[in-house]
Amino acid sequence: DTGVSQDPRHKITKRGQNVTFRCDPISEHNRLYWYRQTLGQGPEFLTYFQNEAQLEKSRLLSDRFSAERPKGSFSTLEIQRTEQGDSAMYLCASSSSRSSYNEQFFGPGTRLTVL
């Protein structure tokens, strides 16, 4: 399978705990994105990497959220001191800078439930 993969697919945690999600993009893609999607809404952009550099970051990304892409391949998204409002589907996508229209390929998502 050469698509975008995310791990874990589901995460249940208690309020106040830290969680970390992983995304493995399509191997030849140098761009990677994180989005958050809540029920009945479209995905909301969180952040974007080109190679290992984090180039765009949404105001939605509070200080409790941090994302890394240390070697320009896989990425991690960490949420510290989780709150119930963090419950959502976290989507990762990747694309190639060679695509002029920036087709983003999405992974299946990690569903986070904060109790």
Partner 1 sequence: GEDVEQSLFLSVREGDSSVINCTYTDSSSTYLYWYKQEPGAGLQLLTYIFSNMDMKQDQRLTVLLNKKDKHLSLRIADTQTGDSAIYFCAERPGGYQKVTFGTGTKLQVIP
Residues making contact with partner 1 (CB under 8 A):
3-4, 31, 33, 40-45, 48, 50, 55-56, 58, 91, 93, 95, 101-109
On the CB side of 112, CA atoms within 13 Å amount to: 30
Phi-psi region of 107 (alpha: psi -120 to 50; beta: other; left: phi over 0): beta
Q: Which distant-in-sequence residues (6+ apart) come within 8 Å of 51 by Cβ?
A: 30, 69, 72
* CB-CB contact of 55 with 37 (8 Å): no
In angstroms, what is the minimal distance from the CB of 16 to partner 1?
30
Cβ-based nearer residue to partner 1, 30 or 80: 30
Cβ-based nearer residue to partner 1, 14 or 59: 59
In angstroms, what is the minimal distance from the CB of 28 to partner 1?
17
Cβ-based nearer residue to partner 1, 11 or 31: 31
